[in-house]
Structure 1
Amino acid sequence: MALNENRGQLVIVGGAEQKEGECKVLREFVRRAGGIKSRIGIMTAATGLPREVGEDYTRIFERLGAEEVRVIDTEYREDASKPEYLEFMENATGVFFTGGDQARIISTIKDTDLDRAIHKRYAEGIVVGGTSAGAAMMPDIMIIEGDSETHPRVDVVAMGPGMAFLPGIVVDQHFSQRGRLGRLLSALAQQPAVLGFGIDEDTAVVIQGDEFQVVGSGVVTVVDLSEIVHINVDELLKDEALAICGAKLHILPDGYRFNLKTRKPVVEQMAQQAA
């Protein structure tokens, strides 16, 4: 898969990112959004506590040096057409989706004026970030909900339309902490996507062009089904176990890079840096 290099960057966070002290993941988002000249919109659609969550991220981004921070509160779908929100988006350098319930993001923002404005600005080069639910909604087809700590089965996971910032890839978050490899595999087996990202807490995938870099204290698990030799999904009843043979698995900690076009880690570069 190749991304349009003229597009902006994505900062996809696995949730529970550090909010005090160094704040490595959020610091990276602010830096890429323009640093001390950044103008950041905080999207609180996913959370049931938009005021509290919005104030929390406003405090963090301002402490990290953002020039202007604005909470974009879309409690109701009609809020996504507010002129003041659309006007702010015209000059925003970064947009950050908070955690909560990813289905709320879809129901209140997808296919609205605000959605179109964010995608327009992303195509023009801004940074779009999101944590937890704000990470899950990044693909065109997202995980809505599913079981953790289980082997892959057809009925493990429910899928639905996402916000399509990252088409052709499935994203899962809180990955190692909640034992979600089984549900990521189940999601991939049922979708045309061949790559899945399992992102740990306090960890981010930062995508620019055809590559991503891992930032944070955990790891990113990349599952590649592009060269599988056998899968039994068409033979199963919904509660029966999946068989997947020939899948590739990559475990990437902080600083490691992955090429989305070749579907390979950039290990040569890391070896040179270590030498």
Structure 2
Amino acid sequence: MTEHINGNLLIIGGAEDKKNECKILRYFFNEAGGKDAKICVITAASEQAEQVGRTYEELFRGFGCKDLVIINIEDREYAALDHNLDKIASSSGIFFTGGDQLRITAMIGGTPLGTALQHGYEHGIIIAGTSAGASVMSDTMIIGGQGDTPGEDLIQMAPGLGFLKGVIVDQHFAQRGRIGRLLTAVSLNPYFLGMGIDEDTSVHIRGNATLQIIGRGTVLIADASVASICNVDDINNGKPLAIAPVKVHVLCEGWEFDIARRTSTCRGEQKAK
């Protein structure tokens, strides 16, 4: 499968620092234009939309943002209102908050707002998402499933917003022990890359299909396309997963990953494949 990367995505593993250096949020602010940024915060994932929106508004305005709007989507009709579409069209940076990723797709998927977001993505506007807002970036997203043993509890998946194709994103990765469900996800979709992002960690993916890691944790990338053994057809019967080999990259800030070539590179002299 050929990964299709057009845009400018900042995918955050959740629980990003909001009190100290705020490295990831400041990075987004600067990429959106700094003090000239026009930021749109979308709170569709959250049941406490107003409170969450205020938190990010205070942060971005504290960085120096003078032009910020919040879209609290109450229903699908709200995602068709012209004034909300105008907010998306005039933005230089769009930020999805956390919550429940199914709320995002239920409220936005297939609406004029969804089309406006896709248009912004195709024109290189930076689109960021944290936690649930990270998972929804891909065309296939994880919506549930637990268990330390891959296949122990079948993973739940659903369509995402489709900005990032050929990659499945999981968040709060190390903190919630989600390697089992990510491995299950890539066993079910072996030509997809699995990307598990730790808290206070992010990946910036540009149109050249290269991702850069920003933050204090790690990003695990699982490539199951090389597997010669897989019993995924048996996990419906309650059996644990067996898949081998799986190529795994564990990367931190200072490293990059080429999604098309599936190779890792340190931005210094050291390189790994």
CA distance in 1, matches of 2:237, 2:143: 17
Aligned with 2:45: secondary structure? coil
1:185 pairs, out of 170, 174, 183, with 183
Q: Which stretches in structure 1 are left out of the alignment for 5+ residues? A: none
Residue 24 of structure 1 corresponds to 23
Residue 167 of structure 2 corresponds to 169
Count of aligned pairs:
269
Extract structure 1 runs of 4+ deviating beyond 4 A.
Answer: none
Q: Is the CA contact 2:190–2:223 (under 8 Å) kept in the aligned structure 1? A: no
Q: Which stretches in structure 2 are left out of the alignment for 5+ residues? A: none
Aligned-pair distance for 1:262?
Answer: 0.8
Q: Is the CA contact 2:186–2:223 (under 8 Å) kept in the aligned structure 1? A: no
CA distance in 1, matches of 2:213, 2:231: 32
Aligned with 2:77: secondary structure? helix
Aligned with 1:69: secondary structure? strand
Aligned-pair distance for 1:2?
Answer: 4.4
1:146-157 to structure 2, matched below 5 A, reads: 146-148=145-147, 150-153=148-151, 155-157=153-155
Question: What letter corresponds to residue 108 of structure 2 in structure 1?
Answer: I
Q: Which moved more, 1:232-241 or 1:15-24?
A: 232-241
Aligned with 1:186: secondary structure? helix
CA distance in 2, matches of 1:157, 1:264: 27
Question: What letter corresponds to residue 206 of structure 1 in structure 2?
Answer: H
Question: What letter corresponds to residue 44 of structure 2 in structure 1?
Answer: A
Question: What letter corresponds to residue 253 of structure 1 in structure 2?
Answer: C
RMSD of aligned alpha carbons: 1.5
Residue 102 of structure 2 corresponds to 103
Aligned with 1:46: secondary structure? coil
Aligned-pair distance for 1:194?
Answer: 2.6
1:1-275 to structure 2, matched below 5 A, reads: 1-4=2-5, 7-148=6-147, 150-153=148-151, 155-191=153-189, 193-208=191-206, 209-267=208-266, 269-271=267-269
Aligned with 1:159: secondary structure? strand
Aligned-pair distance for 1:157?
Answer: 1.1
Aligned-pair distance for 1:146?
Answer: 1.2
CA distance in 1, matches of 2:270, 2:248: 23
Aligned residues with identical type, % of pairs: 42
CA distance in 2, matches of 1:192, 1:122: 26
Aligned-pair distance for 1:10?
Answer: 0.3
Q: Is the CA contact 2:12–2:129 (under 8 Å) kept in the aligned structure 1? A: yes
Question: What letter corresponds to residue 136 of structure 1 in structure 2?
Answer: S
CA distance in 2, matches of 1:2, 1:24: 28
TM-score under structure 1 length normalisation = 0.94
CA distance in 1, matches of 2:191, 2:40: 30
Question: What letter corresponds to residue 201 of structure 1 in structure 2?
Answer: E
CA distance in 1, matches of 2:227, 2:100: 32
Aligned-pair distance for 1:129?
Answer: 0.5
